[in-house]
Amino acid sequence: MQIDSKSAVAIDYKLTDAQGTVIDSSEGREPLWYLHGFDNIVPGLERELSGKGVGDRLQVEVAPAEGYGERNEALKQQVSRDKFGGVDDLEEGMQFQAQTDAGPMVFTIVDVSEEVVTVDGNHPLAGMALHFDVTVRDIREATDEEISHGHIHGPGGHQH
């Protein structure tokens, strides 16, 4: 069986940056299951996995535009500290969700001063080329329920 739209796919993966630093990996864990064709993984990797079979191994470099996007400096802004309603221990690296005109967004605190907190709405991997080393471990037909929900159910997937 080959990976195509509506396949349930299990992969082992290692994600590194351009310098070879490991960002994420499935090593020592169960493979990552995802529903192919439903934007459950970054588009560049999903495209490269199309047509692959169990046991195939590939090394893929995904450009920012097909990963987590280019950095958008307009998503970095300074906010008055009093907007953080009683949170006293604000630190760089903390993340929070805020409602915006575009819907809910996750922001990361990148700087804290007495009166102002600088936040960044870019994904932490935005603007980075992503280097994947992937092995396809399993492929099966997705269930009708998985297809209607847009994600995998059961072992390795979402439980309802």
- Indicate whether 158 belongs to any domain: no
- Indicate whether 88 belongs to any domain: yes
Q: Name the residue among 65, 70, 63, 71 with its Cα closest to residue 132.
A: 63
Q: pLDDT tens, 114-155?
A: 899 999 999 999 999 999 999 999 999 999 999 999 999 866
Q: pLDDT tens, 7-57?
A: 999 999 999 999 999 999 999 999 999 999 999 999 999 999 999 999 999
What pLDDT, on the 0 to 100 scale, is given for residue 84? 84
**Count of Cβ atoms closer than 10 Å to residue 98 Cβ:** 12
Q: pLDDT tens, 44-100?
A: 999 999 999 999 999 999 999 999 999 999 999 999 998 888 787 899 999 989 888
- Indicate whether 15 belongs to any domain: yes
Q: Check whether residue 64 and residue 77 sit in a common domain.
A: no
What pLDDT, on the 0 to 100 scale, is given for residue 86? 76
Please tell me the distance from the alpha carbon of residue 40 to that of residue 15, in angstroms, as a whole number.
16
pTM score, whole prediction = 0.83
Provide the domain limits for residue 55.
Answer: 7-68+127-149
What pLDDT, on the 0 to 100 scale, is given for residue 87? 81
Please tell me the distance from the alpha carbon of residue 106 to that of residue 98, in angstroms, as a whole number.
6
Is 60 exceeded by the pLDDT of residue 160?
A: no
Q: How many domains does the chain have?
A: 2
What pLDDT, on the 0 to 100 scale, is given for residue 101? 85
Q: Check whether residue 53 and residue 16 sit in a common domain.
A: yes
Please tell me the distance from the alpha carbon of residue 128 to that of residue 134, in angstroms, as a whole number.
18
Strand stretches in 81-129, DSSP E = 95-100, 103-112, 116-120
> Residues near 73 by Cβ (< 8 Å), separated by ≥ 6?
none
What pLDDT, on the 0 to 100 scale, is given for residue 130? 98
Q: Check whether residue 22 and residue 38 sit in a common domain.
A: yes
